[in-house]
Amino acid sequence: MEVATLHKQESLKDKIVNLLSTEWPQTANDIYKAVKSDLGVVVSYQAVHKALRQLIESDCLVVENRQYRLSKSWIAKITKRVNQINSTYNSNFEANSSSASIILNGGVLQNLVNDSSIRPLLLELISIYQKEFNPHNIFQKPADEVLTYLFEIQREHELFIAILDGRVVGGTVLERKDKNIADEYKIWKLKHFALVEGLDSAAEQRIIADIEARLLTKSKKMKIQLNLAETEPRYITMFKEYGFTQEATLEDRYRVGEKMFIYSKTY
């Protein structure tokens, strides 16, 4: 009997929420008349009034002048949660606990850029970019402008954030450059690859392996490329140790007199 009563109360609350999501505001009597014939069970006015009171206590409803409507703050909370779930199920926001990485893609920053759990991570990544790419113009701009830039990038490409011991240690953009007609072989570019200084070689190799594993879920046959300037010997050594080889040399790529090397690895 208690189970049936609980089920009835939950169904009644759902009916009230569904009703007020399309027609509002409504009095308790209006709500009672609307849900009475829709539940398939006998519902008393007292039961409706009790359900309304409980919904108010849970911040789902507000009442003004004896008329009820959904709480805007509750709607915002539900919307945010649904967006997070939707993003996760569409691989837009993935937390990889085994390899300590977070992947953002497909417009998820539009929803999460101000989220209390994501924004600090992005700001930590930007801080690393500002140091590693100095005097790169893009990352020397104010943080909000860089956030906008990252948002524009991840509309089409994945943003990979590396995390070790609870702190952001680097990141990169996983950008697809080309593919064959059968879509069996793809070329990926690591854009804006950067890691904090001071990581041991094992940690660096683990992060590269994590990136590699991510891309292998998308293309079993592929090539990974990245551009490294001659002024970045740390990254050149790092990727050479992981099996990347120099594919080409570009003259005056970003600055006059500076050489840029294309490093790649084929799978």
- Calculate the CA dihedral of residues 214, 217, 223, 225 and round it to 10 degrees: -20
Same domain, 53 and 128: no
- Report if residue 105 sits inside a domain: yes
**Amino acid symbol at 169:** V
Q: Are residues 148 and 22 in the same domain?
A: no
d(CA 102, CA 98): 11
Task: Supply the CATH number for residue 17's domain.
Answer: 1.10.10.10
44: containing domain: 2-70
Query: In CATH, what number is assigned to the domain containing residue 262?
Result: 3.40.630.30
State residue 80's pLDDT score.
63
Is residue 85 one of the residues assigned to a domain? no
Do 182 and 222 reside in the same domain of the chain?
A: yes
109 lies in some domain: yes
- Over the chain, what is the mean pLDDT? 81
Whole-number pLDDT of residue 42? 74
Confidence of residue 131 (pLDDT cuts 50, 70, 90): very high
pLDDT: which is higher, 29 or 2 = 29
Residue 59 near residue 80 (C-beta atoms within 8 A) = no
What is the spatial distance between Cα 61 and Cα 21, in angstroms, rounded to a whole number?
11
| 58 and 100 together in one domain | no
The number of folded domains in the chain is: 2
At residue 39, the pLDDT reads 59
Instruction: Decide if 83 is inside a domain.
Output: no
- Residues 49, 106, single domain; the answer is no
Interior angle at CA 144, CA 138 and CA 146, nearest 5: 25
- What pLDDT is attached to residue 83? 58
Q: Do residues 107 and 217 both lie within one domain?
A: yes
Cβ contacts of 168 within 8 Å, gap of 6 or more: 121, 124, 125, 128, 161, 162
Q: How does pLDDT run across 165-202, given as a tens digit for each residue? A: 778 899 999 998 877 666 678 999 999 999 999 999 99
pLDDT tens for each residue of 10-24? 588 988 999 999 899
Mean pLDDT of 96-117: 48
Sheet (strand 67-70) strand order: 26-27, 67-70, 61-64
Give the end of a domain, one of 70, 103, 128: 70
- In the chain, the percentage of residues whose pLDDT exceeds 70 is 77
* Whether residue 188 sits in one domain with residue 154: yes
Residue 77 lies in a domain: no
